[in-house]
């Protein structure tokens, strides 16, 4: 991340034009031409990843100027006067136009995330190195010989001293060796031309579920996927409960760390088994997840996230050896944690933004990740605002009389039409409904609204009224013991007036977050070109229902898309493209974080958003 972009946030921007494509992009001053090009979706060749060592990313500056750096001197000597500069070193200070040479080789690319075309350039590389044997005239150490051979490939790497014993052995064997490099760390060296398989693994560590994706880095393809319940579940179902346990002492934090590591390593076992891969063939892990989960993964007390003013101990990306991280992959391999945007807009959301390209495309889009906490990101390549809204446990079935998780027997969808009630129950036809999960809750409420049984202010109509009107579903309106109105979905499964209130509160918080974020960005519903429902829960929400209950703004329903687990997809993209990773790691510096609890009129807005939208606006 360029220092300027970090420090000045979204400071003043200048335009860069790349020829011959004519692509333009506006970036903060101080951004390098290399990064700006990548930001614009324009690949500039480089093998060193923008470290100024390979000399391959030179461009010719036609307008504007860039200072000559020592790296320019080393690589471009006689071409400096013609305006050639290493794009990875040239910081943009004024409007700039530059020529980009055609790529020397046809890059390998794949479509990932939400329709994103990504060049396959994994952070993990394997290189066949010539190691000229020592003689009495060439006394370089084996270590130096290796560094020199890597430098010829344009790489300046860190050699962990723990690899020196292996280097000694490799040097005995001959003049060719295969080096495996992760980022700027040498992680393995083997004698001969041993182009081995290379795998990476991505993790999306959710409070409830952990998803592991094993990726074949050579083929650029997913080799196996597995998911498991977060092993911390016994210590509390949601983030708040998990934090509560963490606060009970250092042992509790260690306990939580051990629990999530057991889950992580269990999943590594599982994906390796499924794909016929050995743990040591996995050279890198990339992790996304909410900030609390990432804190616990590193054994860090998350209490400051729970208590006002709600700051995290770290939001920044972290890079550890696998041994230090406790991941059962190649011990010298690396574990990279995505950065978070804020204490409540975590690294998983950064994954969402990467996978959807939200911060890189011209279209204005709103992304909502619904859960106990609703994360909201709105913007386009010019500007992006993020916030987080405390939705409470309703979407996970908490505080709902017959609420339950999305497991067998849960009502996950409802259709009320022509006086009929049609239930979708997890497990399929023969399974008796046992309760209502989050997506079912949204569906039931939306259908009750559409059926005219639930008023704009959230009040369930009385049975008497409905009977008087001859409503065909009137018979399902009942009154519970305490005089509480309810709607009977199935035998023993009802939705109560209180449940509706809980849903209003949850969707009201998220709608308020969306409103505040859109206001901060200065856009209106009509400007939204797409609404993305992200997160595993998001995939199950019926777009029309989300619109009817007012969870999302009333855009035409075909603009609402469930995008699935984009957080995992973003992590996978970072495994397959070191440039995507660089962009990801810069995102927190670009995205404006709005603190919802800091908004003065939050309560007023929230109360306004408790009501459901008028039917004529959403039908």
**Footprint of a copy of itself on this chain (CB under 8 A)?**
3, 67-70, 73-74, 91, 134-144, 161-162, 164-165, 167-169, 171-172, 253, 295, 298-304, 308-316, 318-320, 324-325, 342-343, 593, 595, 597-598
CB of 185 to a copy of itself, least distance (A): 13
Local structure of 69: helix, strand or coil:
coil
User: Which string of DSSP letters, residue by residue, matches 525-587?
Assistant: GGG--EEEEEHHHHTTS-HHHHHHHTSS----GGGEEEEE-HHHHHHHHHHHBHHHHHHHHHH
3-state secondary structure 301-313: CCHHHHCCCCCCC
Please check whether residue 159 is in contact with residue 151, taking contact to mean a CB–CB distance below 8 angstroms: no
CB of 69 to a copy of itself, least distance (A): 7
Nearest Cα to Cα of residue 444 among 392, 498, 503, 492: 503
CB of 347 to a copy of itself, least distance (A): 12
Local structure of 67: helix, strand or coil:
coil
- Tell me the helices (H) and strands (E) count for the chain, helix number first: 20, 28
CB of 593 to a copy of itself, least distance (A): 7
Residue whose CB is less far from a copy of itself, 311 or 615: 311
Residue whose CB is less far from a copy of itself, 97 or 147: 147
CA angle centred on 607, ends 604 and 609, rounded to 5°: 110
Residue whose CB is less far from a copy of itself, 288 or 394: 288
Token pair belonging to 122: 């994994």
Name the residue with tokens 């972009």.
5
CB of 135 to a copy of itself, least distance (A): 5
Q: Which residues pair with 188 in a beta bridge?
A: 180
Token pair belonging to 198: 């290379």
Strand 84-86, strand 124-130: pairing: unpaired
Token pair belonging to 50: 């923008």
Count the alpha carbons within 13 Å of 25 in the hemisphere toward its beta carbon. 26
> Before 39, cis peptide (omega within 30)?
no
Nearest Cα to Cα of residue 598 among 411, 427, 342, 367: 342
CB of 373 to a copy of itself, least distance (A): 16
Please check whether residue 589 is in contact with residue 9, taking contact to mean a CB–CB distance below 8 angstroms: yes
CB of 170 to a copy of itself, least distance (A): 10
Q: How far apart are the C-alpha atoms of 66 and 488, rounded to whole Å?
A: 70
Residue whose CB is less far from a copy of itself, 19 or 74: 74
Local structure of 86: helix, strand or coil:
strand
Burial-class residue 483 by CB neighbours within 10 Å (0-12, 13-18, 19+). exposed
Residue whose CB is less far from a copy of itself, 314 or 398: 314
Nearest Cα to Cα of residue 241 among 292, 289, 291, 308: 292
Residue whose CB is less far from a copy of itself, 70 or 481: 70
Residue whose CB is less far from a copy of itself, 72 or 582: 72
Residue whose CB is less far from a copy of itself, 344 or 540: 344
CB of 574 to a copy of itself, least distance (A): 18
CB of 26 to a copy of itself, least distance (A): 21
Nearest Cα to Cα of residue 442 among 360, 506, 398: 506
Which distant-in-sequence residues (6+ apart) come within 8 Å of 323 by Cβ?
Answer: 331, 332
Q: How far apart are the C-alpha atoms of 591 and 378, rounded to whole Å?
A: 10
Residue whose CB is less far from a copy of itself, 51 or 405: 51
Please check whether residue 393 is in contact with residue 374, taking contact to mean a CB–CB distance below 8 angstroms: no
CB of 62 to a copy of itself, least distance (A): 22
CB of 121 to a copy of itself, least distance (A): 26
Give rounded-to-5 percent helix, strand, coil for the chain: 35, 25, 35
Q: How far apart are the C-alpha atoms of 567 and 270, rounded to whole Å?
A: 20
Residue whose CB is less far from a copy of itself, 343 or 510: 343
CB of 325 to a copy of itself, least distance (A): 8
CB of 310 to a copy of itself, least distance (A): 8
Residue whose CB is less far from a copy of itself, 12 or 308: 308
Residue whose CB is less far from a copy of itself, 217 or 315: 315
Torsion, Cα 562 565 571 573, to 10 degrees, reads: -50
CB of 234 to a copy of itself, least distance (A): 22
Residue whose CB is less far from a copy of itself, 206 or 317: 317
Residue whose CB is less far from a copy of itself, 63 or 250: 250
Residue whose CB is less far from a copy of itself, 141 or 462: 141
Ramachandran angles phi, psi of 44, nearest 5°: -110, 135
Local structure of 80: helix, strand or coil:
helix
The beta-strand segments (E) located in 372-476 are 373-380, 383-390, 410-417, 420-425, 435-436
CB of 77 to a copy of itself, least distance (A): 13
């Amino acid at each position: 991340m360029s220092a300027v972009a970090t420090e000045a946030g979204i400071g003043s921007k200048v335009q860069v034009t790349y020829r011959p494509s004519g692509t333009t992009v506006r970036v903060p001053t101080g951004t390098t031409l290399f990064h700006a090009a990548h930001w614009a979706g324009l690949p500039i060749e480089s093998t060193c990843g923008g470290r100024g060592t390979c000399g391959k990313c030179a461009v010719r500056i036609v307008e504007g100027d860039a200072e000559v750096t020592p790296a320019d001197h080393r690589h471009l000597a006689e071409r400096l006067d013609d305006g050639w500069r290493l794009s990875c070193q040239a910081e943009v200070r004024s409007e700039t136009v530059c020529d980009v040479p055609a790529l020397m080789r046809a890059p390998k690319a794949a479509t990932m995330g939400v329709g994103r075309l990504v060049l396959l350039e994994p952070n993990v590389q394997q290189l066949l190195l010539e190691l000229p044997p020592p003689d009495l005239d060439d006394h370089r150490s084996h270590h130096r010989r290796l560094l020199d051979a890597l430098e010829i490939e344009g790489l300046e790497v860190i050699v962990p001293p723990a690899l020196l014993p292996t280097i000694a052995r490799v040097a005995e064997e001959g003049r060719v060796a295969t080096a495996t490099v992760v980022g700027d760390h040498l992680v393995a060296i083997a004698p001969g031309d041993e182009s081995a398989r290379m795998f990476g693994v991505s993790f999306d560590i959710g409070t409830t579920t952990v998803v592991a994706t094993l990726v074949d880095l050579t083929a650029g393809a997913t080799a196996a996927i597995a998911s498991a319940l977060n092993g911390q579940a016994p210590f509390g179902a949601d983030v708040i409960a998990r934090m509560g346990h963490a606060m009970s002492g250092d042992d509790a934090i260690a306990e939580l760390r051990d629990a999530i590591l057991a889950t992580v390593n269990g999943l590594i076992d599982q994906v390796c088994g499924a794909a016929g891969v050995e743990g040591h063939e996995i050279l890198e892990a990339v992790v996304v997840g909410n900030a609390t989960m990432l804190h616990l993964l590193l054994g860090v007390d998350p209490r400051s996230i729970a208590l006002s003013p709600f700051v995290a101990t770290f939001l920044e990306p972290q890079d550890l050896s696998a041994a230090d991280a406790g991941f059962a992959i190649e011990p010298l391999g690396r574990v990279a944690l995505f950065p978070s945007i804020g204490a409540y807009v975590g690294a998983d959301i950064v994954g969402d933004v990467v996978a959807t390209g939200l911060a890189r495309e011209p279209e204005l889009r709103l992304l909502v990740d619904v859960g106990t906490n609703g994360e909201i990101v709105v913007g386009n390549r010019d500007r992006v605002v993020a916030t987080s809204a405390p939705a409470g446990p309703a979407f996970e079935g908490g505080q709902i009389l017959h609420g339950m998780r999305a497991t067998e027997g849960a009502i996950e969808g409802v259709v009320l039409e022509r006086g009929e009630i049609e239930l979708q129950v997890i497990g399929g036809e023969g399974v008796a409904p046992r309760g209502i999960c989050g997506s079912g809750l949204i569906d039931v409420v939306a259908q009750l609204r559409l059926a005219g049984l639930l008023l704009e202010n959230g009040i369930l109509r009385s049975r008497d009224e409905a009977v008087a009107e001859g409503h065909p579903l009137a018979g399902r309106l009942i009154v519970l013991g305490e005089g509480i109105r309810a709607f009977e979905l199935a035998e023993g499964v009802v939705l109560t007036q209180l449940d509706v209130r809980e849903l209003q509160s949850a969707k009201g918080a998220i709608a308020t977050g969306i409103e505040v974020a859109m206001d901060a960005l200065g856009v209106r519903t009509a400007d939204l070109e797409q609404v993305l429902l992200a997160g595993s829960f998001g995939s199950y929400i019926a777009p029309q229902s989300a619109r009817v209950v007012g969870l999302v703004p009333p855009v035409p329903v075909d603009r609402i898309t469930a995008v699935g687990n984009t957080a995992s997809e973003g992590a996978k993209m970072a495994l397959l493209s070191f440039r995507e990773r660089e962009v990801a790691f810069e995102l927190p510096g670009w995205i404006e974080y709005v603190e919802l609890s800091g908004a003065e009129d939050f309560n007023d807005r929230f109360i306004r958003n408790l009501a459901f939208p008028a039917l004529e606006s959403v039908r």
